[in-house]
Structure 1
């Protein structure tokens, strides 16, 4: 592992989940270009690349995680990288030519405290991001997760999971728009391979009926994105 965030075990208090719509069939080409041109320079400036993915069975999406120590660090990084760095000036046009839309971005913070970068950057093959939109019920959903759902997952040997909510501080770099939904809970779960993913997903689908009913009653919309690790 050569990611500096891994080597230094950075404490992450701000996370962007960035989901790019690309021109058709360019995911692999874009991923190679992105990794070779941007990852190391961004890490050096304090914007840590904590995952590079394609969406399972989709050929025009590139998803990546970018973490920061805090919002102040994020603001400094975005100005340093996008406005002042030679890296972006030389290679930014190349990425933009392959993209159709880059505004599908969630700005998040850990549900509690901070997250070690090692819990996000993984060698595991499958990563699942669950978006739970909880219209006026977020606190109840968080309580259900902490008291019942997370213990159920751990009992099912699903333990490589982190929880996030929206970072509601002002996005002070409006050139890069973000979603900030006060009703959102996000989980990020890593699985070793396809076999583990499908086996554990079956366990989740077969959760106790009372837990399933509680989840359905409190969560307004649940969206799941299944990601394949490119690195």
Structure 2
């Protein structure tokens, strides 16, 4: 298991119109190292390509006690104190957050010492969030055995598969969504590669006739598809 990421936060912020670039500038300039200095791993931060007012990011922690320690140190520390007002004024909602644990992290998932570039990304991080009925619903096994092979065959081999970590929120100032999910992420070189995957998936009989209907039956509500562009300083790209 990747030591940095036994516990993962997936956070999706709804922002005021035309404020996303402002938040990303603050985040990439001040909040990446500011958080990592307290013991977190800022895995990736993204523009949602299907919603101009959504900012998505992923951070990891060694374990649950480390999460509590790191979040307390950061949110009551000098870096957040200096930049909280400027960041918060861009946000309508910052409570769309999921507490996750890895099912599988592939070689493409950033480690703590992975390079952190400072340039424009053309890659796409695609994936989905499936909303499940219960923790013991067999969804993970079904996804691993039946869904991953079709995704891989159509050019979307998952780099990361994560499921809900059902545990008490040990930093209550940041709310968490109280639901059980499975989410996955794959990397695509560019928009063309992502679009090609979607065409292949739409043309796959196995997907359309067997896998997709079963996913719908197993899901508590419609899937959330993710199509994300890494920011300039995202490790996951």
* TM-score exceeds 0.5: yes
Please list, as runs of the form range in 1=range in 2, the aligned pairs for 1:11-26 lying within 5 A after superposition: 11-26=4-19
Match of 1:104 in 2: 96
Q: Which of 109, 128, 146 is 1:119 aligned to?
A: 109
Verify the 8 A CA contact 1:108 1:165 in the aligned structure 2: yes
Root-mean-square deviation (CA), in Å?
2.3
Any gaps of 5 or more consecutive residues in structure 2? 233-237
Verify the 8 A CA contact 1:163 1:188 in the aligned structure 2: yes
Relative to the length of structure 2, the TM-score reads 0.83
Q: Which of 72, 79, 82 is 1:90 aligned to?
A: 82
Match of 2:215 in 1: 215
Please list, as runs of the form range in 1=range in 2, the aligned pairs for 1:183-222 lying within 5 A after superposition: 184-207=181-204, 208=206, 209-221=209-221, 222=223
Relative to the length of structure 1, the TM-score reads 0.85
Q: How far did residue 202 of structure 1 move?
A: 1.6
Return closer, same or farther for 1:201/1:137 CA change in 2, 3 Å cut-off: farther
Q: Distance in 1 between matches of 2:130 and 2:4?
A: 24
Return closer, same or farther for 1:170/1:159 CA change in 2, 3 Å cut-off: same
Higher helix share: 1
Match of 1:5 in 2: none
Q: How far did residue 153 of structure 1 move?
A: 2.2
Verify the 8 A CA contact 2:41 2:59 in the aligned structure 1: yes
What SS is found at the alignment partner of 2:171?
A: coil
Return closer, same or farther for 1:54/1:93 CA change in 2, 3 Å cut-off: same
Return closer, same or farther for 1:107/1:124 CA change in 2, 3 Å cut-off: farther
